[in-house]
Amino acid sequence: MRLTITDIARTAGVSTATVDRVLNDRAGVHARTKRRVMSAARSLGYLEPGGSDAAEAAPPLDLAFIIPGGTNSFFAALSSNLQDLAASHEGRARLHVHRMEAFHPKSLAAGLRDLASSADGVGLIAIDHPLVRTAIREAVAGGVRVVTLVSDISDVPRHFYVGLDNRAAGRLAGHLMGRFLRHTRGKVALFAGSLLYRGHEERAIGFRRILAEEATGLTLLETREMQDDIDLCYREACTLLQSEPDLAGIYNVGAGNRGIARALDEAGRAQDVIFIGHELTEHSRRFLLSGAMDVVIDQNPRQEAELAVASLIQAIRGPDQSLRSPQVRAQAIFRENLPDA
């Protein structure tokens, strides 16, 4: 069957008039729309892949990434790695990293709407909130490709999620906590940044579930949401150590490890309270070496940045519906298997 511009228009989600303007290199078409039409024409076989055409003159893809601000060392490392990748994509894509207020759905939704007005694709660490879900739906409906990373979001048409299976990561932490404390009867504290992050919520669920299954001698205390604040984590850990003399373990699903480690050191409890946290940074590396932390559940920020950029470009070019979101592997790091810095 002979292909027509109607087929291209249907695939690209634009009008036949827009397809006609793009194929004949007429003015008045946004660069993002032009790229989408040319991608659809190539994927349908209307144009030769990589052939010389009007699309070759199109500017590089504009990719925007929204990363929370604050003192979270992993987010800082992820942001730095995304910025480092900009040079390797020069001429094909322009990468822009925006640090925005953490744990603030209204700010994130407003930032996403602002970036979606000019970007071809947006990658973000999502907050699972109605305002953010609505902003993502609007961006996708407007032709912007959206990829979530680190923490996913429910019930939205995002194109890929790049990150850990966070529930499995929480179960891994719970399994290790249970093995460390298998002959102990005591209490375990659970710290989170914010349960607005689906990733934090899923880690907490996985942790709670496996302790209930495998460590019946341990009592899990209520989850404490610390907003990834180092000082808040420190004060809360100090209070816990004073009020719960039988505290046997702490699991921190988010940031703020520096505050917890400081409290354990000052209380003289660093060697007898099992402390499990996330992300291998210069700080958590130091705590593993000193014995203040026992395990770090790590995800590689360089790998995550590379997968996020590749997934966003793939989504813009037209994702194969059979492709799955790239999986980032969780790795348990102990003092004995610390990788080189």
121 forms bridges with which residues in the sheet? Answer: 63, 145
The confidence score (pLDDT) of residue 57 equals 47
Q: Which domains does the chain have, with CATH numbers?
A: 5-57 (1.10.260.40), 61-163+301-328 (3.40.50.2300), 166-298 (3.40.50.2300)
Cα distance between residue 137 and residue 19, in whole Å: 24
Residue 97: name the closest of 127, 63, 143 by CA.
63
pLDDT at 200 over 90: yes
* Model confidence band, residue 339 (pLDDT cutoffs 50, 70, 90): very high
pTM for the full predicted model: 0.85
E strand or H helix at 332: strand 331-333
**3-27 per-position pLDDT tens digit:** 788 888 888 878 888 888 888 888 7
The confidence score (pLDDT) of residue 54 equals 46
CA trace torsion 194, 237, 270, 216 (10° rounding): -70
List phi, psi (to 5°) of 261.
Answer: -60, -40
* Model confidence band, residue 91 (pLDDT cutoffs 50, 70, 90): confident
Contact 293, 276 (CB under 8 A): yes
Q: Which two tokens stand for residue 92?
A: 């094909």
Cα distance between residue 198 and residue 79, in whole Å: 20
Going by the DSSP 8-state scheme, the letter that residue 327 receives in this structure is B
Q: State the chain's mean pLDDT as an integer.
A: 91
